[in-house]
Amino acid sequence: MNATEEIEKCREKLDPLSCSDTVYFAVAYYEDKPAGFIAIMILPKLNAKKGYLYVDGMHATGFTNIPELFVDSKFRRRGIGAALLEYAKTLCTTLEYAGVRLLVRNENTNAQELYKKTGFVLSNTTFGQWLRI
């Protein structure tokens, strides 16, 4: 299965969830071809303050084989990952949430560099999470 088919398969699985008010899913296109996607879950707080938008599709969706942020290798280094993160930040502002939280493995240095370039910082209080407030 090629990356375009993988993206479409993920979209089909996540579409029903994206109709809810707790999960958002966006697909990025490059020259009319699906190039990447982002899955975002609302992580509310128990008090009156609004919580965070959380980018961790493996937990948010229940599909353990679906990453939260994915860009097809043929389309990397073209600003697609940054555009998907910008969508998350815009959604956060629109919904008036406290910020965006990203979860990344320590060995995923490419993702960490992207997060740094797009204004996220490593949280000192939460292991492996990057924040943009």
Backbone phi and psi for residue 23, each to the nearest 5 degrees, phi listed first: -130, 135
Q: Indicate the pTM of the whole model.
A: 0.74
Which domain range does residue 43 map to?
3-132
Report residues of the chain scoring pLDDT below 50.
57-66
pLDDT at 78: 92
20 three-state secondary structure: coil
What's the number of domains the chain is made of? 1
Tell the burial category of 49 from Cβ atoms under 10 Å away from its Cβ (0-12, 13-18, 19+).
exposed
- Residue 74, classed as helix, strand or coil, is helix
Which pLDDT score is estimated for 5?
74
Q: What's the CATH code of the domain at 49?
A: 3.40.630.30
The label of the residue with tokens 């969706």 reads 61
Helix (H) or strand (E) holding 12: helix 3-18
